[in-house]
Each structure stands twice: as structure tokens, then as C-alpha cells.
């Protein structure tokens, strides 16, 4: 299981974010490994 925080969501959502390409590649790699992706929300 791989936990994703709000920073990752922002980096994925904004194509012009400096870390977008690297973040997309990392998430895609996790998906290809059949990892379970979990978004954790802090309240």
C-alpha cells in the first residue's frame, strides 16, 4: 500500500507544477506494480 498526501494530489493535478512529470511517473510505476494507492486526509 502506498499513501499519497495532498502534495501529491496537487502535483498530479497541475500539469505546470515543477514536480508533475516526476510525480506522474512515480504513481504510474506504483500502479504497474499493482500497488494499492491510498489518499490520506488529515482533519
For 25-41, write each residue's pLDDT tens digit: 999 999 999 999 888 77
pLDDT of residue 33: 94
Q: Are 15 and 27 in contact (CB under 8 A)?
A: no
User: What is the per-residue pLDDT across 2-14, written as a single tens digit (0 to 9) for each?
Assistant: 788 888 989 999 9
Grid cell in block for residue 41: 486526509
CA–centroid distance for 23 within its chain: 6
42: confidence class by pLDDT, cuts 50, 70, 90: low
- pTM (predicted TM-score): 0.80
43: confidence class by pLDDT, cuts 50, 70, 90: low
- The β-bridge partners of 2 are 37
CA distances in angstroms from 27 to 3, 15, 41, 43, listed in the order given: 11, 14, 18, 24
Mean pLDDT (whole number) for 7-24: 95
d(CA 17, CA 24): 11
Amino acid at each position: 500500500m502506498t499513501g499519497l498526501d495532498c502534495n501529491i494530489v496537487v502535483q498530479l493535478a497541475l500539469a505546470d507544477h515543477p514536480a508533475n512529470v516526476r510525480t506522474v511517473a512515480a504513481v504510474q510505476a506504483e500502479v504497474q506494480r499493482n500497488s494499492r494507492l491510498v489518499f490520506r486526509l488529515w482533519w
